[in-house]
Structure 1
Amino acid sequence: MSEENKLLSPGIYVRIKTKDGAIIEGLIVQRYEIFDPGFITLKLKNGYNIGISIKKIESVELLNKEIEMRRGEGEIVPIFEKTESKGKEIHIISTGGTIASKIDYQTGGVKPVLTADELIEMIPELNSIAKFKSEILMSIFSENMNPKYWEKIAERVAEVLVKEPDTGVIITHGTDTLAYTSSALSFALRNIGSPIALVGSQRSSDRPSSDSPFNLIAASIYATSDICEPAVVMHGETSDSYALAHRGTRVRKMHTSRRDAFQSISSLPLAKIFPAEKKIEVIRKDAKICSKSGNLEAYTKFSENVSLLKYYPGMPGWIFEILAEKGIKGIVIEGSGLGHVSTEIIDSIKNVIDRGTIVVMTSQCIFGRVNMNVYSTGRLLKKIGIISGENMLSETAFVKLSWLLGNFKDEEEITRLFATNIAGEYEGRELLNYYPRWNHGEQ
């Protein structure tokens, strides 16, 4: 191997000067097999990776830094100098998704992070925020999440909060069903004494535009704050300027791929987080502040006998009756407009209600609230016993009904509790022009 090639070998710490005058320092790591062999991969001090064309390199200087490389299980991973972690303790519970994954430098793929040390290696900035411990509770795609998994997550979080009462919790999760899980924890765990941050990643750690490090740093700042509510913590805009902590029952994924895909609907976020400054600003006056006097209440059961149906023109009534015959005990309808369905299927809905199935009406509209008093169809639906979801998000209504049926048996009590604002799922005041103001700056 020539001296020049040695300087471009994995495990060597170098200072590179490019032909256009840029000077870059970092650790050369194993090139991804899927990348062009004419490029090298350099890990910068901040933990990010960049690719550099060998043709554009003017000079390479070897820096006198010995970097240990872990070799095993088919991977080559750099190990950086460890510094003592500071601050509050955070317990990370991984459920899957790409947020807590790392690059396999031999294959170019990603794999789950197994330990807190590996997480610190990925994102050294975390060391200055808190002391971390981590575990993999499950490793599933978020589309495979279900009520039984919600129970498992809620039970494990409750165990952590009891054994480690001063420890913040971060739950890493795929983004597609993240809002459902945040709602589930909001109902299952009451009077919590530490923050719970649920965090995902829109772009995996093998992409230059990955939002994993930024989101994890923001989630860590939230997890060391004084806000004791389950919250989804994600990018507040497409750049890395700030993140938002969204109340667990008022958040929805609004875009398939944007980094700022999550938004609080008709509602203010709990807080605005600035990872670069490690600062958090509380936005909501009703944010629940941590109190050591409260005792954790855990109601962690969820019923699988609940369905969420989107009404569409021509929808047949037999869908409802078949669901009831199959044992479904609760149905949430996404109705049109103020909460409507065709008058032709009202008799079928009445039949399932008379047989003991609880039916809730929400709206397909993103903003606004259900009002079944305005038009005759709505009044008919109200008369047969459909419960109004007001301005609760349909996903949240689905989770809440699942939770109520899992923990309570009396139908009258379930109906009363559904109308009760338990975890901020109902928003009293509608905010106009919310999405443009918060997602794209003041307009």
Structure 2
Amino acid sequence: MSYHGLAKNFLESQGISIGDIISIKKEGIEYKGMLLDRVEDADEFHIVLKLDNGYNIGVAIDKAEINLINKGKRSKIDHSPMDMQKDPKLMNISIISTGGTVASLIDYKTGAVHPAFTADDLLRATPELMDEANIQGKAIMNILSENMKPENWVQSARSVVDEINNGADGVVVAHGTDTMHYTSAALSFMIDSTVPIIITGAQRSSDRPSSDAFFNLMSSVVAAKSDIAEVMICMHATESDNKAHLHRGTKVRKMHTSRRDTFTSINSNPLAQVQDGKIKIIDTNYPYRKRNQTSLTLNDSFEPKVAFIKSYPGITSELIDYHIDKGYKGMLLEGTGLGHCPDHLLPPIRRAVDEGVHVVMSSQCLYGRTNLNVYSTGRKLLSAGVIPVGDMLPETAYVKLAWVLGQSVNKEEVKNMMLTNLKGEFEVKSSSKYFSRDYGE
């Protein structure tokens, strides 16, 4: 077990192991449940139980009384090959795992969560998938999404393209939610696809009764069979398990730390929804790419030395100078309001542009668009060579700049590419209708 120190001694003195059903009394309250394992770097003062209602609780062992109710039996995840026959009537869908809880197996004897690395694993965890498609699955990495780097985006894109070249009618990418919208933007710019590419995840672990993993994965496989050959994020549309939204990969952002419907399309509607196994188009403003409408291409060059800098009261000019001196090729500035920053940043920004650094301006407001023609600060930024990117999300603009600089370093080509709507990353005219303040009053 991963318990150590006081907690380990506390459990061993009572002959208690992970998976046992126990009761623990503390301060007049009794908790009953299954003893779960803990992560290796957990403290030595708590133990964790899975209660009968499905939720986990941590209990401090100080002055606690523990009793064994029933011994549990450790089970092992079955990794033996499954006898899967392809159904010629079903489409072939590949599921690629990069990490995260959506592609995981639960050992219900111990409560432990195990990564699902193969199609066999995925189908054991979610056998309902076999009713939807012939599933081929593999794990290409197993990392937390906050540890994603541009080279991981490239690895993911190459794996997606390999699956399509090998006959996949659609690809689902299982991914951690924290930086999923960065990856969706990166895959959008890198790949011109002939089939749907769906990125999905889970806000709540598969061992919780409120987990969204099953619904998101099932909805994503349905979406991967659709006619929409774009990179999309598929996640809960509401807190209920009734429908999922398909968000264009360049117009979506994680907006809440824990809600199941955390992903929201910004300055646009979701592209479509998945409900009862069917796809319904929502956004008719931007025509989506249809299956086999174009040839499959991959442009996976990225410039790693691109900075993402947020303007804030008190920001110093040396922050800009630092990135110039370190040889950065591009800077994405997340400006205030219409795309502003303090006047004292203008000299280092001019220096950056003069020395060949490509400087792009977005807005931290998210909704609405940058406009550097309204106030004097904006006009000064324009004259310094800063490129405004309309209503493009800051994260999308950062990813796009890194990708564009992987394609060209020519000043005019970079500017033209940043201002060209390549994958639906900005609207020509933004509408305030997307910004809702309906509080139900």
TM-score by length of 2: 0.81
After superposition, where does 1:171-320 map in structure 2 within 5 Å?
171-190=173-192, 192-274=193-275, 277-285=276-284, 286-292=286-292, 294-320=294-320
Look up the SS of the partner of 2:165 in the other structure: helix
Q: Distance in 1 between matches of 2:77 and 2:118?
A: 16
Which deviations, in whole Å up to 9, do the C-alpha atoms of 1:139-172 show, x marking residues without a partner? Answer: 10000001111111111112222221x5200000
Identity of aligned residues (%): 42
Contact 2:366–2:394 at 8 Å: present in 1 too?
Answer: no
The aligned counterpart of 1:362 is 362
CA distance in structure 1 between the aligned counterparts of 2:337 and 2:439, rounded to whole angstroms: 28
Q: Which residue of 2 aligns with 1:150?
A: 153
2:361 partner SS: strand
Q: 1:157 to 1:344 in 2, by over 3 A?
A: same
Distance in 2, matches of 1:298 and 1:393, equals: 23
Tell me if 1:33 matches 2:19: yes
Identify the residue that residue 396 of structure 2 maps to in structure 1: 396
Could you say what secondary structure the match of 1:244 adopts? strand
Q: Secondary structure at the match of 1:207?
A: coil
Q: Structure 1 residues 85-94 or 234-243, which shifts more? A: 85-94
Q: Aligned partners of 1:145 and 1:263: how far apart in 2?
A: 21
Shift in Å at residue 136 of structure 1?
0.5
- Asked if the contact 2:361–2:388 (Cα under 8 Å) also holds between the matched residues in 1, the reply is yes
1:21 counterpart residue number:
none
Gaps of 5+ in 1: 1-30, 42-48, 54-70
1:169 equivalenced with 2:155 (yes/no)? no
- Give the TM-score normalised by structure 1: 0.80
Counterparts of 1:139 and 1:255, CA distance in 2: 24
Q: Which one of 126, 130, 148 corresponds to residue 127 of structure 1?
A: 130
Structure 2: segments with no counterpart, 5+ residues:
1-16, 24-31, 36-49, 55-72
Identify if the C-alpha distance between structure 1 residues 33 and 126 changes in structure 2 by more than 3 Å, giving closer, same or farther: same
Contact 1:50–1:208 (CA<8 Å) still a contact in 2? no
Q: Structure 1, residues 353-387: CA drift from partner, whole Å, max 9, x if none? A: 11000000000102000001000011001110000
Query: Which letter does structure 2 place at the counterpart of 1:176?
Result: D
Aligned counterpart in structure 1 of residue 116 of structure 2, from 110, 113, 117: 113
| CA contact 2:79–2:121 (8 Å) conserved in 1 | no
Residues 293 and 240 of structure 1: CA distance in aligned 2, closer, same or farther (over 3 Å):
closer
Deviation larger for 81-90 or 311-320: 81-90
Are 1:88 and 2:83 counterparts?
no
Inter-CA distance 51–433: structure 2 relative to 1 (3 Å threshold): farther
Rounded to whole Å, the distance in 2 between the matches of 1:268 and 1:393 is 14
Distance in 2, Cα, partners of 1:95 & 1:228? 21
Shift of 1:122: 1.6
Return the offset for 1:295.
Answer: 1.3
For residues 432 and 393 of structure 1, what CA distance do their matches in structure 2 show? 15
C-alpha RMSD of matched pairs (Å): 2.8
